[in-house]
Amino acid sequence: MNAENAFSLAGKTALITGGGSGLGFAMASCMVAAGATVVIADLNEETAKRAAEELGAAAIPMVYDVSKTEMADAFVGAVLEKTGKVDILVNNAGNHKKKPIEEMTVAEFEAVLDVHVVGAFALTKALVPFMKQAGGGSVLFTASMASFIGTPLVSGYQAAKSAYLGLIRGLASELSPSGIRVNGVAPGWIDTPMLRKAIEGDDARKNKILGRTPMKTFGKPEDIGWAACYLASPAASFVTGHVLVVDGGALIGF
């Protein structure tokens, strides 16, 4: 196999939740560049449509709220009706609530887990029988620095992103015999609307983040897009249960 084929996603179909913005859009854009057809699933119809228009004929916009777990089977059915198959699922959709624990309500905590963990579980569960039938597939999760280190004021987010580590390892172990690989990308601090909103007006936090990132800059969404492409590609065919950290050195640096 030559290098081009090893990293190619030609003929593959990817389903990316939260694909309309930030990291999801970058993953969609990189996967289209690698030859894939991409379903951009997003909560927001306008966001999904605009993103798909930008990527051209290889991108299909669809509206889906991952927290509506009762809709997962019907949504997978609607996707398969359009594409015939899904080779790559990216559980990327995410929300964020930044508050001290005294102010964070149980409902707010649950709402974060409902999107990241319960929603991702439900969609993966709905798709796995079809991946098994097809002889395999690749499932990715967008993890985080919060999967590994403690960050303040985001207790729901911390719990959700840490839960991904267990889910990735457990599902990788369970689904390997069916040819389904399960991996994660753990971004450091990447310049997206979510990060901008989270640090808006908080220069102390911004400087603290950049201070602990040896490369002294926020990452670009494409840095995560290409990492996801690698994990989904034939080049990573023996990689499963792994979380690829893409963080400008933030985890290992000071």
Ligand X SMILES: NC(=O)c1ccc[n+]([C@@H]2O[C@H](COP(=O)([O-])OP(=O)(O)OC[C@H]3O[C@@H](n4cnc5c(N)ncnc54)[C@H](O)[C@@H]3O)[C@@H](O)[C@H]2O)c1
Q: What residues line the site for ligand GCO (CB under 6 A)?
A: 96, 144, 151, 154, 189, 194-195, 198-199, 205, 209
Nearer to ligand X, 42 or 87 (CB): 42
Residue 112's binding partner among ligand X, ligand GCO, none (Cβ under 5 to 8 angstroms by kind) is: none
Q: How far is the CB of 89 from ligand X (least distance, A)?
A: 13
Active-site residue among 64, 157, 164, 230?
A: 157
Nearer to ligand GCO, 62 or 209 (CB): 209
Q: How far is the CB of 144 from ligand GCO (least distance, A)?
A: 5
Which of 100, 142, 102, 105 is CA-nearest to residue 120? 142
Nearer to ligand X, 189 or 226 (CB): 189
Q: What is the 3-state secondary structure (H, E, C) of 129-194?
A: HHHHHHCCEEEEEECCHHHCCCCCCCHHHHHHHHHHHHHHHHHHHHHHHHCEEEEEEEECCECCHH
CA distance linking residue 73 with residue 87, whole number of Å: 17
List Cβ neighbours of 131 (8 Å cut-off, separation of 6 or more): 86, 87, 89, 137, 139, 178, 179, 180
Residue 154's binding partner among ligand X, ligand GCO, none (Cβ under 5 to 8 angstroms by kind) is: ligand GCO
List Cβ neighbours of 103 (8 Å cut-off, separation of 6 or more): none
CA distance linking residue 227 with residue 140, whole number of Å: 11
Length of the chain: 254
- Asked if 157 is an active-site residue, the reply is yes
Burial (Cβ within 10 Å: 0-12, 13-18, ≥19) of residue 252: exposed
Phi first, then psi: give them for residue 234, nearest 5 degrees. -60, -25
Q: How far is the CB of 49 from ligand GCO (least distance, A)?
A: 24
Which of 198, 195, 157 is CA-nearest to residue 26? 195
Q: How far is the CB of 44 from ligand GCO (least distance, A)?
A: 18
Residues near ligand X (CB under 6 A): 17-18, 20-24, 42-44, 47, 64-67, 92-95, 115, 142, 144, 187, 189-190, 192-195
Residue 79's binding partner among ligand GCO, ligand X, none (Cβ under 5 to 8 angstroms by kind) is: none
Nearer to ligand GCO, 52 or 143 (CB): 143
Residue 198's binding partner among ligand X, ligand GCO, none (Cβ under 5 to 8 angstroms by kind) is: ligand GCO
Residue 92's binding partner among ligand GCO, ligand X, none (Cβ under 5 to 8 angstroms by kind) is: ligand X
Catalytic residue positions? 157
